[in-house]
Amino acid sequence: MGKTYQDIYRNYRWQIPEQYNIADYVCDRYAGDRNRLALIYEDENGQVNKYTFKDLKQLSNKLANVYTHLGVCRGDRIGLVLSQQPETVIAHIAGFKVGAINIPLFTLFGPEALEYRLSNSGAKIVLVDAENLPKIIEIKPRLENLKYVICIGKPTIVGDGLIIFQDEIENASDEFTPVKTSPEDPAIIIYTSGTTGPPKGALHAHRVVLGHLPGVEMPHNFFPQPGDLFWTPADWAWIGGLIDVLLPSLHHGIPVLAYRFKKFDPEEAVRLMVKHRVKNTFLPPTALKMMRSLTGIKEKFGLNLRTVASGGEPLGEEILGWGRSELGLEINEFYGQTEANLLVSNCSEIMPIKAGSMGRAVPGHTLAIVDEAGNPLPAGQLGEVAVKAGDPVMFLGYWQNPEATKAKFAGDWLLTGDAASMDEDGYFWFNGRKDDVITSAGYRIGPSEIEDCLLKHPAVFISAVVGSPDSLRGNIVKAFIKLNKEYMPSQDLADEIKGFVKSRLAAHEYPREIEFVDDLPMTVTGKIRRNELRKMEIERKSLK
């Protein structure tokens, strides 16, 4: 590999074998070393259990035999309503071994959300913990394809087709020969967040893990390095937890820490990382913004991270500066989406960090800023982030939705739906979802820069900026703001915040309206649902 970003990008070549099964590469090939650590699990009571790759191989073989006994065939769908716990890893590996398609699902989903996804995917089996079992039992009669429910833990209720995980595992053989799969064979359905309409199932092939590798290695400064150990608070049901952390780390033979936060606690997160000597972490922007309340992290707690990566929403200069002063490192931002992930990244070892930029194209990916017809645009011009077709990280299509799949492409380009620009140095600058861009008095305004500026005001804890209908300007900039707890809402404070932004950005960018709120609508992955706020504003204005 070259020493500069340009050398690495120019010389990168994909290594895609003719046969590839995720299970072999993230588990079985390391099982010959019986002591090689794969997983550290700390439960909510503080009890710690460790699993080697050999343990995971044997347990996943047992579950694969259970699946086979239950009639699971290649291509059948298996729902996983599980959090960060050993059974989640075991279930994913077992599913890959039998050629099934895994569907990671959030434990935070209610019955309606679970029913939609399990019905849409036609799942044959669901694995669920005892806490969330009642939701599955409630909806099972309406799911005609769902035959069996496998419960992790001791169930408090019973239902038809209910199987106890531990009972089946104990009696199953730990010998299993995985099916042979090609890199193009389907492996995972990950449902989109639903920020722009009903959730769609992005179907990914086994090659998706290979496609993610350079996008993990780059923001983690050439991961893996000796002593690396990975953890993220991001749920493994989200692509950010599952394929940005868990599977690539195991692919490299690097152990992963598993711990379930019912509600993210920044001080507890630091304690956890210190206790287990975590070196690498993916911290979503919301988590970083909450951690900003902590000071003296290295001195008081002894936290010694090698890398911190973040993605999902732009961080801005305020959070990046906090990372340098409190964590003693550069936070490397990256960018991607469910359909094609980890496309853009920073890497502080080989490139200068430009505050507010997502970074440059990850080696192996061909990207451009394009117009609506898919024509590449010149540097500095606002358009849509697009990735060239044929990329191994790219999805196979939306599950049973060819129309939506077709609409995702313009010629040879997959359109992300994210508005951005690219500068002369190849750095990408996120402007917001295409729907988030505000058109006001002829100006096109992205919310991210305004939200970053708002965060610099001492009263602002978090904010969301949207366009609000206006008869004169078409739309005006409106900010919904959750205050830090020592501040109280008032008109004087609103006026002060307006002036704060106006003096730092531009006269057309400052929020002409401010609404103080107790909370902001979020997706389960921690992204702000600006579309809900826009819809609310449209409805409000239409009633006036």
pLDDT 10s digits, 34-56: 999 999 999 989 999 999 999 99
Fold type of domain 437-543? GMP Synthetase; Chain A, domain 3 (3.30.300)
Asked whether residue 198 carries a pLDDT value surpassing 80, the answer given is no
Q: Which of 513, 518, 521, 519 is nearest to 540 (CA)?
A: 513
| Portions of the chain given CATH number 3.40.50.980 | 21-37+44-181
Q: How many whole angstroms separate alpha carbon 277 and alpha carbon 266?
A: 16
Answer yes or no: are the C-beta atoms of 84 and 236 closer than 8 Å.
Answer: yes
Given pLDDT bands bounded at 50, 70 and 90, which one contains residue 159? confident
Q: Give the tens place of pLDDT for each residue, 290-316.
A: 888 888 888 888 899 999 999 877 787
The pLDDT, as a whole number, for residue 110 is 84
Question: What's the pTM value of the predicted model, to 2 decimals?
Answer: 0.84
CA distance 526 to 544: 32
pLDDT in tens, 169-197: 999 999 999 999 999 999 999 998 654 55
Which pLDDT does position 442 carry in this prediction?
58
**408, 415 Cβ separation under 8 angstroms:** yes
Just give the CATH number of 21-37+44-181.
3.40.50.980
What pLDDT band is residue 441 in, cutting at 50, 70 and 90?
Answer: low
Q: Which two tokens stand for residue 443?
A: 């100006």
Q: 366: which 2 tokens?
A: 């061909």
Q: Pick the closest to residue 204 from 231, 186, 228 (CA basis).
A: 186
CATH 3.30.300.30 domain locations along the chain: 437-543
Q: In the predicted model, is pLDDT for residue 1 greater than 50? A: no
What's the average model confidence in pLDDT over 430-443?
Answer: 72
Q: How far apart are CA 333 and CA 448, in angstroms?
A: 14
What was the pLDDT predicted at 69? 97
Say which DSSP state 9 is in.
Answer: H
Q: Which amino acid is at 338?
A: T
Q: Does 261 score more than 90 pLDDT?
A: no
